[in-house]
Chains A and B, each alone.
Chain A
Amino acid sequence: MTEVIATNETILVVGGGISGMTAALEAAETGKKVVLVEKRPYVGGRVTQLYKYFPKLCHPTCGLEINQRRAKMNPNLTIITMAEVTDIKGEAGNYTATVKIAPRYINDNCTGCGDCGKAVEAEFDDEYNYGMGKRKGAYLPHRMAMPQQYVIDPAIIGTDDAQKAKDVCKVNAVDLDMQEETIEFNAGAVVWATGWQPYDANKIQPYGYDRFENVITSVEFERLADPTGPTGGKILRPSDGKEVKNVAFIQCAGSRDKNHLLHCSRICCMASLKQCTYPADDVDISVYYIDIRAIDRFEDFYQKVKAQENVSFIKSKVASIVKGEDDSPVLHGVDTEGYNRYANQHDLVVLAVGMEPSVDKESFPVDIVINEEGFIEPASENGGIFAAGCSSDALDVNRAVQHATGAALRAVQVINRVAGTEG
């Protein structure tokens, strides 16, 4: 049974991505008790699946290492993974949260040695790599996963495979009888940091993501470029594994579109500009865009990529993609700067998919103001519940962290009021 010691002076942080981790750590490092609830088997969230950050082209795992170290060192912070908040009752300063915890089938004895992963035979699509590549039925989600503990896929429970995992484990970490549990605990304030998900590219019918192997999403492209990804960092075509010599980026794939996401997802322009730096110099790159939204100092980066000889920009929302020879996608549309019709063939097409907020508008556990786009509004009606990061707007990492730090303060204010430390 998972035990959580929490009071009305505890801050509950929902979501352990970069925003949730930031809010949790900033509050904990200010001396507040924090419980962080994360749905995945590890903290770090979506940024762990990115190869590089714009505009510095530095590696997300670098900051992750620091944040994980902060988390490991901080006694004020309790992290519960594979858990979801199913209900919140009460009011600012006095909430009761209900949390459902899925069984990991691995206990804290796990040393991350990897024996169970080797013993198990069943393979599944690797969600860390967005389904490109496989992982075992007993797996460490990724190399830097925190906690550094394996997970057993529920699909193998009751099979010989699961038994193999148990038998091979020398430290008695495999517990096949682990059950789902539901716990309740108190919190004075809640930071809601459930982040975002890539917009489902299957819904953008004319781009044929569901029909053409060589049309992929921007988040998948990150995995392809990452040396720890499914292709070992080589940008290869999914259809034939050939090296890509000509790649297209389609901006606003799902964003700024009343048929899909009404909002501008802010990050996709910069993300594609960043991805323009991944392929080698001799790879031709075309960026199809409506407006390049390089905000503030990001302009520097835009100018830098613009100066790359292999990159060209076409002001156009691509109308449709058809399959050309050799499974190469052919993009049809009109360059609106002077009306030039094109039918351009590329080896690979990357859809810069939008950010869809992971805020469940329909069944949010507590009454809260959510706007048309699905983001939580900064409303006083929300009581002691504060959005952090991408549950408040489409934000880049830097702005999400900035926002989450502010959200932590708002939670701290509630706690300090409860604690009566003011005055």
Chain B
Amino acid sequence: MAEEKKMAGFVCTGCGIGERLDAGQLETTATRDGKMNTCVQHEMLCSKEGVQVIRDTIDNDGATHIMIAACSRRAKVEAFHFPEVAMTRANLREGVIWVRPDTDENKETTQEMADDYIRMACAEAKFSTKPTKSGEQELDKTIMVVGGGITGMTAAMEAAAAGYPVHLVEKGGALGGRIAEYYKVLPTRSPYAAPQESSIAEMAAAIEADDKIAVHLNSTLAQTSGAPGRFSVDVATESGSTSNFTCGAIVQATGFTPYDANKLPEFGYDKSADVVTNHELEALAKAANGGPIKRPSDGKEITSVAFVQNAGQCSDEEGKLAYFSGVTDLVSIKQAMYFKELNGDCDTTVLFNNLRTPGAAGEDFYRAGQEAMVLFSKGIVSEVVPGDSLTVKFKDLILNEDTEMDCDLVVLAVGMEPNSGPDPYYATEGEGAPEPGEEANPNAVPEISVDSILNLDYRQGTDLPQLKYGFNDSHFICFPYETRRTGIYAAGPVRRPMDIQQARDDAAGATMKAIQAAENAGKGMAAHPRAGDLSYPSFRKEGCTQCKRCTVECPFGAINEDEKRYPLFNEARCRRCGTCMGACPVRVISFENYSIDTVGQQIKNVEIPEEWDEKPRILVLACENDAYPALDQAAMNGVEINPWARVIPVRCLGSVSLSWITDSLNNGYDGIVLMGCQRGEDYQCHFVRGSAMANERMSKVGDTLQTLNLEPERVVVHEVAITDIERAPKLINDMAETVEKIGMSPFKF
């Protein structure tokens, strides 16, 4: 480090800190043990005056590293905003005085706690540097949109309208996608009363005329490399020619494929031409050219139609879709209205179980269908018997009887299957994943292997990871555009089944995120959830053993391997969770302000009392996203936490290095509690796999404990939710009890 470190400490005595603790002692600890060049007290550090004191120290005294001992790092964030220096915070309020009873007998241990937090924050500061841009940044404002259907076209137009150039890549020979084959679409504006013409032709014309949008037809992606802000894309056309362009971010809008009705023999799709899917009906209606819709088998004008809802959907049977395709009930109503419009007196009956027409538009359209005299029956169809007239056998649930009806045509409301590429994690966490206890089969391939869409040259696979049923969706309720491949956002029915209006809104949302990713990549800032973070993992090549753990474990596929098989970090793909740091067995990966040392030195700087003092030490590594806020809230509620505990927030449990655990045990800590987010199918880990990774790594801690001859109960991993306000402190206190039971660690020096 060229620049000389100048370290300044600040101790706040407000909010009762001054009354409960010996602030003079804290100051001494900061300067004597914490090696702060200066340390001052202030009665209210977050006040204007207090902040000014800090500001002056930075501006006038040239402080480069500051340690603020006050409240939790989650509080007064706006006041303590000094991005020009390395800053750490010692949590004396929520971390100490609010979790300890205000009694004389506790005074000593409470003060010890506070002193330790000061030492920890000082050590952290000492080993931190202020995050700065790496210089790797590039800003390419171009957005690539993959897929030229309504979602992709919308995304392209929205991006262009925001001033961003677009490359729109479409596999087929024309824009428009499936909608181009539709007779009409659902209404998009009130009153939601009748099917309307789609605007696809005008959109295609507008795109054609927009000089911001370059359209690549008959084109696929041969390779996509790079990172947000500097993607490089090789496009191959059907004719064999290739071209290359660059872009800053990507929207994948590859749409869906209708479910194959041949898998539904019970509905006679393979036996009768007059059993059609909802998608085929669109073609029939379009072919009618304004006249009556004709029967495929004999060209006879259709006078009666039955719609079989949820054909091959909402089913737990093998080969059928388990989910509901979102829009198929509305589509059947729309199509029944086609017949009312084109075939005059045609009877249309919709056989449904639960009619799912949500929202204002949905319910309005349902009523409009009824008004148009579309018949609705809550009936479960068991069979369609082919013949000159088709017989539909079903159970009418209202009249509670098995019955049947005849009609000229049967429309099967089949669902949508996403056009996603192969799942990079098929063998480890997708459908090819092993049962618990089984080893993952790295060679497992999806039964029906699909072509890659993006052809990413990422170490971790060619395409976006899938959530479930092949959809490239986010797992987060609050963050639908969370992506596991930074800068690449799925939109439309490849993300989740949806109707046109939703797909268009979704295209706008995904485009927003793509624009944002490109812009932030240009500034060297992280994407969600550590948005704006400038810190970035650097790695010491000399120490690397090429074990590949970091490249394999990165939840975002951010790390490639270079030609010499060293990890190749891609800043703009990185989400700054530190899972690579936790993975690295030789500790060569670190961030400026979050490293093996910034945490390791905190652990080392806690004073470990001699065994006979009977003051154990419990290390708590708490995920800053959920566990740490839970502890903060517990403090607000005045829930007591054992005085032996020393809590260190971590970016993600996935960033926890085993070395911290072994060092702590060697240094005489008596117990270690790790708190991360929920893992597994319904994971809550904000970095997707961090918590799961940590759990896997910690399962190997047993060996270390055995070597040290320590009891396995000394290290525990817990899933903690942000609402675990009572439970989180209890888990710590439980460890204190465990230590009391099994005795102190013999490793105290």
Contacts and interface: CB of A to CB of B under 8 A. Distances in A.
B478 A401 contact: yes
Nearest to A143: B633
A324 interface: no
B24 interface: no
Contacts of B513: 26, 405
Interface residues of B, number: 92
Given A171-B44, A291-B355, A297 B468 contact: yes
B481 A58 contact: no
Interface stretch (A87-95, A124-132, A332-340): A332-340
Contacts of A337: 378, 397-398, 400
B519 A406 contact: no
A212 interface: no
B477 A299 contact: no
* Most chain B CB inside 10 Å of its own CB: which residue of A67, A69, A303, A397: A69
Nearest to B397: A337
B356 A295 contact: yes
A65 interface: yes
B516 A29 contact: yes
* Most chain B CB inside 10 Å of its own CB: which residue of A62, A297, A399, A421: A62
B342 interface: no
A53 B469 CA distance: 21
A340 B606 CA distance: 70
B479 to A, nearest CB: 7
Contacts of B532: 29, 70, 73-74
Contacts of A53: 477-478
A66 interface: yes
Given A62-B722, A297-B469, A373-B360, A412 B354 contact: no
Interface stretch (A6-14, A200-208, A215-223, A259-267): A259-267
Contacts of A338: 397-400
A72 B629 CA distance: 15
A278 B258 CA distance: 37
A421 B164 CA distance: 9
A143 B468 CA distance: 35
Given A26-B513, A111-B14, A397-B478, A416 B323 contact: no
B322 interface: yes
B477 A409 contact: no
A300 B323 contact: yes
Interface residues of A, number: 88
B629 A398 contact: no
A410 interface: yes
A82 interface: no
B357 A264 contact: yes
Nearest to B158: A409
Interface stretch (B71-79, B198-206, B449-457, B543-551): B71-79
A354 to B, nearest CB: 11
A70 B533 CA distance: 10
Given A74-B532, A295-B356, A336 B398 contact: yes
Contacts of A372: 190-191, 360, 364
A86 interface: no
Contacts of A170: 14, 44
Contact of B509 (A59, A379, A409): A409
Interface string B498-532: 10001001111111110110011000000011011
B686 interface: yes
A228 B14 contact: no
Interface in A356-404: 371-373, 375, 377-379, 393-395, 397-399, 401-403
B82 interface: no
Contacts of A299: 314, 322-324
Contacts of B510: 405
A377 B529 CA distance: 31
A185 B81 CA distance: 26
A58 B684 contact: yes
A144 B636 CA distance: 10
A407 to B, nearest CB: 8
Nearest to A420: B163
A401 B262 CA distance: 37
A291 B356 contact: yes
Contacts of A402: 480-481, 505-506, 509
B505 A403 contact: yes
A378 B636 contact: no
Contacts of B516: 26, 29-30
B506 A291 contact: no
Contacts of A371: 190, 360
B508 A421 contact: no
A98 interface: no
Nearest to B362: A264
B358 A264 contact: yes
A291 B475 CA distance: 26
* Most chain B CB inside 10 Å of its own CB: which residue of A26, A406, A413, A416: A406
A406 B506 contact: yes
8 contacts: A29-B531, A59-B722, A66-B478, A66-B625, A227-B723, A266-B362, A303-B322, A371-B360
Given A299-B324, A405-B510, 19 more contacts: A29-B516, A58-B684, A62-B677, A63-B476, A69-B74, A143-B637, A171-B47, A227-B723, A291-B356, A293-B354, A294-B354, A338-B400, A373-B364, A393-B360, A401-B477, A401-B478, A402-B480, A405-B480, A416-B162
